Structures are given as C-alpha cells and as structure tokens.
Structure 1
Amino acid sequence: MVTQQQYMEQILAKYNLKEADIVPLKKKRAVIEDYVRSRYGSKMATFYYSGSYAKGTAINLKYDLDLCIYFKHNAFSSLSEMYNEVYKVLNEKYPVYKQKVAIGLKYGDDNIDVVPARKIDERTDDANLFVTSTNGQIKTNIPKHKEYISQAKCRPTIKLMKIWKFRHSLHFKSFALELLTIKALENCNSDDLGEQILHVLRFIRDNVQNVKLVDPANSNNIVSDLVDQNDKVNMKNNADASLRKEQWNDIIW
C-alpha cells in the first residue's frame, strides 16, 4: 500500500519541471539579454532570472521565465524614464505590453516578463521598480527572495500547493502562495509531506482571509494586500472542501 509520503513523491515526480523543458526558454532569454546588453552596455549591472523558476518552485503545469534587468543606480534620471526607455527598446524587436512593474514580451509562442530595476546603490542588491499603475516605486531584492525560499527548506510542499491550486482552478498569486505555505509550516513538526499539506490546508481554511504576508525583501510591501478578497475566499472554501475528502486522489492528483 502506498503511504501518503510516497503518494506526494509520485505527484512531485509527475509534475517535475525538467531542465529539458526550460531549455527553449533559456535560449530565448539569452537572445533577449544579448539584445538589451547591446543597447545599454555599461548602464547595466546584471541580469537575473526571477519568478518561480529562479526560486526552484516551478512545476510543469505552469511555468515561465521572468527576467529582471538590474541597471546601475545612476543609469537613468528617473524610474519612469528607465521603464519607458526599456519598453521602447524592446518594442523595436518584439511585441510588448505594459504591466504593473513588468514589460510583457511576446517571443514566438512564449510570453516572457521583463522587469526593469534600478539599483539603490552599488553596495546592495536592493533595487527599485517603477509601478505603472501609480507612477510610484517599490523596492525589491531578487537574491534575497531566492535566499528566503532556500532557507525555508519547503520547496516540495510549495510545489505541491501550486499543483493543488492548479488542479482546483484557483487564482492566487504565486509569490503569495509561497509566503503563505512558508508561514503555515512555521508551526508544523512533521517531515511527512502529506501531513505538511494537511497542515497548510488547515492554515488556509482558518487564516487566509486575515493573514499578513510580508515581502522578505521589503517590509513595506504587504503581499497579502495584493491578493483579491474573492481569491482568498475561494482558497478558504477549497481548502475546507479538500480537508473533508477521504482519499488523497480527491485532494491532489
């Protein structure tokens, strides 16, 4: 008889994102990076993968290759100039569209988000993003996000919760779900993946509508405030329904 730990391991294997899956996107990333470097040269500090792939929490049901361009702190006179200049340059080669902080780019059949960021200074990885909806700014730190996920040591459970979310057709921001899972597991004493999933589901049922999720790279960015209230209610109701199921294949499959 398969144990719940073994069942979870089978689910993880089923939806494991293999390196071969990501190779085509990596090649496109290299083309975009070369193009941007050719246009900005010494203004650039570095190029980061961001998003779930960079943090090691991606699954093959849904994944993307977000890119973050770190410009030097004196590269542009303003964040709006940076964002609009990068938008213009990318639009010379690709179909693009503006998002909250990213520039959506259509490359063949793939959609790639490119996020321009300007370093606060050259001694830190803190950087500011331009927020198109408010003409404001928000601080981020890509390496710190990666480090936070790594130190939490719960990537398998995060992946399982993303699979659960996808299978139940729920809309909930990926970063928020990562933070929610980590917070839920703070008081979990079991290494069994099945027990961890049940623990997270109970936490969602009881707390998702009111829990405060803070960006580890920016204490002023309350990630939970960016999640629609209806999405929180749907998460709560689906978590409650899942906890009432008797078979694992009715909860996550």
Structure 2
Amino acid sequence: MTPDQYLYGILSREAVDTSATSPALAVRQTLMPLLNEWAGAMLRGVYPSGSFAKQTSNRSGTDIDLFVSLSNQTTESLKEIYTKLFNRLGEKGYAPKKQNVSLNIRVNGFDVDLVPAKHQGGNGEYHSLYRRRADTWTQTNVNTHISKVSASGRTSEIRVIKLWRNQHQLDFPSFYLELAIIEALSGARGSLSDNVWKAFGYLAGNFANARFVDPANTNNVISDDLSATERAAIKAAAVRALATTNWNQIVV
C-alpha cells in the first residue's frame, strides 16, 4: 500500500455526510424550539459553520458546528449571551461544556458546538463573538472563514492533520490549524502524502513564530489563541512525526 492509498483510506473511513439530508443537520431542528424559546424575536438564524461547512470535518471529531446569530438589537452583552445560553442548555439537560467561543453538547448521539454571536447590523454577515479564554470579544465573518478554507484546495491535507492533532491530543484550534496548513502548502503541487509531510515540516519549523490573522478582521490575531508553550508542543509533535518510519505511527 502506498502512503497516498493509506491516507485516502483513512479519509474515506472518516468521511462525513454534509449533504442537505445529513443526519447531523437534523440536530438543528431538534434544538430550534429551545433556541427560539431562549432568544425569542432576537434570533436571526441558526446555520452550519465550522469544519462541517468548510468540508474539513472528520467522523471522529465534532459532528457539526451551529452558528447562532442574534439581532444587533439584543441588549445583553456577549458574555451574558454566552453564559445565558450555557445555563439554558444545562436546564434542558444537555450538560454543556464551555469552550473558547462555543458551547459543546451531545444531541441524539451527535457532538454539537453552538457558537452564539451578535450581528453587527447592516447587510453584511459580520458578527461579534465572546472569547471566553481571554474574557473579551472579537468581530468576524464566519462566511469569509468558510470560503477561505473550502476554496483552498487543501481540505484533504487539513483533515489528515486534524486527525493527527486529535489522536495526539494536541491543543490546536481548528481555524488556526486550517490557516497554518493553507500557508504551509502555498504553491505546493505534490501528492496528498507529500503535502502532509511538507505541512509537518512547516509545523516543525516556522509555525511556532508565525503570525496568523483572521481574514475577516486583521485586528483579530488567531495565533494569539495559543501560548508559546502550546505552540511549542505542536512543533515538538511535528518533529516526532517527521522522525517516524511509517505513516501508521503518525495517524491511524
């Protein structure tokens, strides 16, 4: 078996149904009564975002991210919105887990990340989100994120690196990872295995000191989401990957 055959076999096993009839999408309808009750007239909409929408998700990762868009007329602060949704989910028996900008719950066997955000107003899709780790807020456009990644031509390589991240228990936020791999493979024309190997070379080299900004808001420095120690852990893991003699020592 060639390295490419091995990696494509893993990606086939980890394939996620992102079609309109995807079972994961059905959780949106399950949650709509709760979200409508919680937000009332302030709810603009709930739609897929994150890895699911970018075509970079894996079956063994989070099943779906749902972006919860609230009107700019919402009076609560972003922190209050985040906290109140957390409390309401708990009241309904979902046992939510706080993440950086999202709340993770299990719904009908699916792993779901809810991202509450307040619309900035106007015709665009700019939103403000609460960032729990820094106890601050940021402005961004999730549609820009989706377009940047899904049109990159690097979704297969990103999926392999995400599996490696999860299997080696690395703290590496998905959008940060996606931007890093797109940068690592700029201009690359190799096979899947060649490109993934090149991505490891980047993670083991320039990555730790590289600055990544949100393509929808350059004031939002994505690389600040990890400390120097956390970036060093990713670098060390990539160095170990490059020292292996078989792909099954890297990702399975």
Conserved in 1, the CA contact under 8 Å of 2:45 and 2:70? yes
Conserved in 2, the CA contact under 8 Å of 1:48 and 1:142? no
Using a 3 Å threshold, how does the CA distance of structure 1 residues 104 and 9 change in structure 2: closer, same or farther? Answer: closer
Quick one: distance in 2 between partners of 1:165 and 1:100? 18
Conserved in 1, the CA contact under 8 Å of 2:119 and 2:126? yes
Conserved in 2, the CA contact under 8 Å of 1:68 and 1:117? yes
Quick one: distance in 1 between partners of 2:194 and 2:134? 42
Using a 3 Å threshold, how does the CA distance of structure 1 residues 19 and 47 change in structure 2: closer, same or farther? Answer: closer
Q: Which residue of structure 2 aligns with residue 168 of structure 1? A: 168
Q: Shift in Å at residue 212 of structure 1?
A: 1.0
Q: Which residue of structure 1 aligns with residue 233 of structure 2? A: 234
TM-score norm. by structure 2 comes to 0.85
Q: Which residue of structure 1 aligns with residue 57 of structure 2? A: 58
Q: Shift in Å at residue 203 of structure 1?
A: 0.7
Conserved in 1, the CA contact under 8 Å of 2:67 and 2:115? yes
Is 2:199 the partner of 1:200? yes
Question: Over residues 192-221 of structure 1, what are the superposed CA-to-partner deviations in whole Å (9 max), with x where a residue is unaligned?
Answer: 101101110111111121011112222112
Q: Shift in Å at residue 134 of structure 1?
A: 5.5
Q: Which residue of structure 2 aligns with residue 185 of structure 1? A: 185
Q: Shift in Å at residue 178 of structure 1?
A: 1.1
Q: Which residue of structure 2 aligns with residue 9 of structure 1? A: 8
3-state SS of 2:209 partner? coil
Q: Which residue of structure 2 aligns with residue 136 of structure 1? A: 136
Quick one: distance in 1 between partners of 2:111 and 2:164? 24
TM-score norm. by structure 1 comes to 0.85
3-state SS of 2:4 partner? helix
Q: Which residue of structure 1 aligns with residue 119 of structure 2? A: 119
- Equivalent positions of 1:23-34 (< 5 A) are 25-34=24-33
Q: Shift in Å at residue 139 of structure 1?
A: 0.9
Quick one: distance in 2 between partners of 1:87 and 1:166? 25
Paired positions, count = 250
Aligned residue type for 1:136: T
Conserved in 1, the CA contact under 8 Å of 2:63 and 2:112? yes
Aligned-pair RMSD on alpha carbons?
A: 2.7
Q: Shift in Å at residue 89 of structure 1?
A: 4.1
Q: Shift in Å at residue 106 of structure 1?
A: 5.4
Identity %: 28
Q: Shift in Å at residue 176 of structure 1?
A: 1.5
Quick one: distance in 1 between partners of 2:245 and 2:76? 59
- Equivalent positions of 1:135-154 (< 5 A) are 136-154=136-154
Question: Over residues 107-133 of structure 1, what are the superposed CA-to-partner deviations in whole Å (9 max), with x where a residue is unaligned?
Answer: 566653322211111311000113445
List structure 1 runs of 4+ shifted beyond 6 angstroms. none
- Return 5+ residue gaps in structure 1 as ranges: none
Larger radius of gyration: 1
Quick one: distance in 2 between partners of 1:207 and 1:90? 41
Q: Shift in Å at residue 8 of structure 1?
A: 2.1
Conserved in 2, the CA contact under 8 Å of 1:73 and 1:122? no
Quick one: distance in 2 between partners of 1:134 and 1:246? 40
